[in-house]
Amino acid sequence: MKSAGIPIAALLLAALPAASQETPAPDLFSEVIDVRVVNVEAVVTDKEGNRIPGLPASDFELWVDGWRVPIEYFSEIDDGVARSTSETDAASDSGDSGKAPETPEAVHAVPPDEHVRTNYLVYIDEFFAVRKNRDRVLKRLEKDLSELHPEDHVAVVAFDGRNVARLTDWTNRGGQVRDALREARKRKALGLMRRADRDPVAMPAAGADQAAEALSQAGLGDQPELLDVQRSSTSLLQSKRERQIHRSVLAAATTLRSFADPPGRKVMLILTDGWGVPSWGNTNPMGPPPPSLEDIYGPLAHTANRIGYTLYPVDLPGLNPAFRNSPFGIGDASVGYNEGSFADPTVTTMPSPFSMPAGLNVEWFQEAALAYLAHETGGVPMINSFRDNALAGAAADTRSYYWLGFEPRTNQTDELHEIEVRVIGHPDLRVRSRRSYFDLSKTAQVTMMTEGAVLFGGAPGKETLGVRIGVPEPTRGRRIHVPMEIAIPLDDIEVLPMGGRFMNELEFRVTLINEGGERSETPVQKVQISGATEPPPGAVFVFETTLLLRSNEHRFVASVYDPLTGAVLSAQGTVGPRSGREASEGG
C-alpha cells in the first residue's frame, strides 16, 4: 500500500528520564496490562493504633466514587498467612436507590492457611541522594533482611537521573540482595549537586518582598532591574528543580510497571532526598500558581494504585537536628508516626513558609510529598528516624491486613476513581488503605510502555517496524528537521473490510532521548490505512513524519499500536545531525 500523506510530529524536548543500557527489557513490555481485579489491602486499628484481627467480610463495606460495590474477594492475612474463617459472606443490604447492591459470597483471595509472599521493590533515587545518607539507609536495609519471611522476595533498582539499573531481579536469596545493596553503595550519588541547584545564591526561593529587602540591605534597592533578574532566576530555578523531581517520579512510576506481575503483596520502598514542591517557597504574587502534590506525584501514586503497590517513601537525610523541637509539627518520628505532622495532601500551597525558621520550609515540603505518596496508597512515610527501620518497619506493617478485591467496571477512560473502605458497626475503629485506582486506557498504557522501553532499554513490542531516516535540515534555534519513514508490515496488524475498502486506524508514537537525559513528549499520531483491495501477504504500508529536535545525537523508540488486536510493533535506533547523510552521499 502507498503512504497516506505526510503527517508532521513536532517533538520539543523536555527534561525526563533517559534510556538504560544496563539491563534487558522486562517481559512486561511485550503486552498491555489488563487489570481485571482491584486489590485493596486494609489495615484496621483502634484509636491507639493497635491492629484489630478476626473481622469477617460482613463487617466491611467497599465504596467506589460514592457507590457501594460488592466485595468479591476477601482474606485476612495474619503474620503473612491467610487466616481460616468460618464466615466468608460479605454484607448484603437492601440499600437506597441502588447504592447498596446485593453482595455475593466473597471468595477467598488466598486459600486458608497459605503463606502469602510479600515483594519489596527497593527504588534508590541516586539523582537526589547524598552518599552518606543513602549508604546509612542501605546498610540498615541489609541488616533488616533477616526480618523477612523465607517466601518474601526483594528486587533492587537505582536511578541516576538518566538510566535505571536493575541491580537484582526478584529473589528470595539473601546473598543476592546483599550483593545488590553493596553494589548500590559503590555507585555515584548526585544529591550534593541537587543541593547546589537548590541554593545557588543567597536568596533561594525568596518571594518579591524578601528579595527586595535583601537587595536594599546590600545598597541595591534602587535598581529594580536587579529585582527582576532575581525573580526570573528564582522562577527558572524552581521550574528546573520541579522538572528534575518529575523526571525521578516518572522513572519510579515506569519502574513499578516493569515489576508489575509478582504474585502476592507488592511494596515499594522509595529512597530519596529533595522531593517536594520547590515553588511552594516562592510567595511572589505575580508568578504562576504553584503545582500541587497531585500534579507532581500523582503519576506515581496512581500507577501504584492501579497495579496494587503500597508505597513506603524513605526520608534519606532524616530530621535536621536544628528543627527537632520545632513548633511546626515536625519532631522526632521515633515516638511513632503521626499523620497530623504532615501536609494535608489536598493543600496546594504552603500557607506561610517565611514564618518558619530558615530551611524548615524545605523540610516541610519534602515530608509533605512523602506523606502524600504513602497516604494515597495505604502506606506509611518513613520520615526522620523511621529511615533507620525502613525495611523492617514496612515488613511489620504489611504482614497483617485484610485483603479485599473487586472487579471494576472499566471503561478505559483515564479517570481516577476514589476508594473508601468502611468497617460497619465499629465506630471506634480506623481503616488505612489505598484511596483510589486509575482506569488506564490502552492508549495510555502503550504510551507508558514506549516510555518504559526508553527508560529500561529494549522495545515495547514486536520489533518489525522498518524505519528510514532522511537527511536533516537546519532550522531556527540550533534545531533540525529530520524526515522519518516508517514501514508497517500488514501481516502483523488487522485490516478490516468497511464500506468497500480495507481499513484500520493505528496509533504511532516516537520518543527521543539525548545524551543529557532529556526526552521528548510522546504524542499519539493517528495513521489511517485504507486500500481498495485486501493486502496480499508481505504487504507493507509506508508513511512519513518529521521530527524536530536539537542538533545532537538522540536515541529513539518508535511504536505502532493496533487497537483492533492489541498488537504493538516497534523499532529503535539513533537519529541526529549526521542521520541519512551516509546513505545520501553513497547514493
The pLDDT tens digits of the residues spanning 317-350 come to 876 544 444 433 433 332 233 333 333 333 333 3
Average pLDDT over the chain, rounded to an integer: 75
What domains sit in the chain, N to C, each tagged with a CATH number? 13-32+442-586 (2.60.40.10), 38-79+81-114+405-431 (no CATH), 118-191+242-397 (3.40.50.410)
What phi, psi does 557 have (nearest 5°)? Answer: -130, 125
- 261 or 150: whose pLDDT is higher? 150
Q: Quote the CA–CA distance of 181 and 498 in Å, as a whole number.
A: 57
3 state DSSP class of 282: coil
Query: How much helix, strand and coil, in percent to the nearest 5, is found in the chain?
Result: 30, 30, 40
Decide if pLDDT at 358 tops 70.
Answer: no
Are 281 and 338 spatial neighbours (Cβ–Cβ below 8 Å)?
no
Residue type (1 letter), 292:
S
DSSP, res 366: H
Range from 233-242, 510-519, 559-568 carrying the lowest mean pLDDT: 233-242
Are 448 and 456 spatial neighbours (Cβ–Cβ below 8 Å)?
no
Residues of the chain with pLDDT > 90, as a percent, come to 38
Decide if pLDDT at 419 tops 90.
Answer: yes
User: Which triple of cell numbers denotes residue 566?
Assistant: 492489541
- 242 or 22: whose pLDDT is higher? 242
Q: Quote the CA–CA distance of 202 and 210 in Å, as a whole number.
A: 11
pLDDT at 498: 86
pLDDT at 519: 72
pLDDT at 335: 29
Residue 221 makes CB contacts below 8 A (sequence gap 6+) with 212, 215
Residue 429 makes CB contacts below 8 A (sequence gap 6+) with 44, 45, 46, 52, 423
User: Which triple of cell numbers denotes residue 202?
Assistant: 543567597
Decide if pLDDT at 240 tops 80.
Answer: no
Exposure of 387 in the CB half-sphere (CA atoms within 13 A): 23
pLDDT at 208: 42
| pLDDT band per the 50, 70, 90 thresholds, residue 213 | very low
Q: Quote the CA–CA distance of 407 and 424 in Å, as a whole number.
A: 22
Query: Left if phi > 0, otherwise alpha if psi is -120 to 50, otherwise beta: which for 283?
Result: alpha
Q: Quote the CA–CA distance of 96 and 303 in Å, as a whole number.
A: 33
Q: Quote the CA–CA distance of 396 and 102 in Å, as a whole number.
A: 35
Nearest to 158 by CA among 137, 183, 176: 183
The arithmetic mean of pLDDT across residues 75-81, rounded, is 92
The arithmetic mean of pLDDT across residues 203-231, rounded, is 40
Are 530 and 503 spatial neighbours (Cβ–Cβ below 8 Å)?
yes
- 152 or 414: whose pLDDT is higher? 152
pLDDT at 233: 38
Decide if pLDDT at 443 tops 70.
Answer: yes
Q: Tens digits of per-residue pLDDT, 13-52?
A: 222 222 233 333 333 233 344 456 788 999 999 988 899 9
Decide if pLDDT at 147 tops 90.
Answer: yes
Alpha-carbon torsion (344, 349, 350, 351), positive or negative: negative
pLDDT at 271: 96
Q: Quote the CA–CA distance of 251 and 263 in Å, as a whole number.
A: 23
Q: Quote the CA–CA distance of 375 and 370 in Å, as a whole number.
A: 9
Q: Tens digits of per-residue pLDDT, 505-553?
A: 999 999 888 776 677 788 899 999 988 999 999 999 999 999 888 888 8
pTM of the model: 0.71
The arithmetic mean of pLDDT across residues 382-399, rounded, is 90
Q: Dihedral angle at the C-alpha atoms of 106, 111, 117, 118, nearest 10 degrees? A: 20
Partners of residue 501 on adjacent β-strands: 498
Q: Quote the CA–CA distance of 64 and 113 in Å, as a whole number.
A: 30
One-character DSSP codes across 250-265: HHHHHHHHHT---SSE
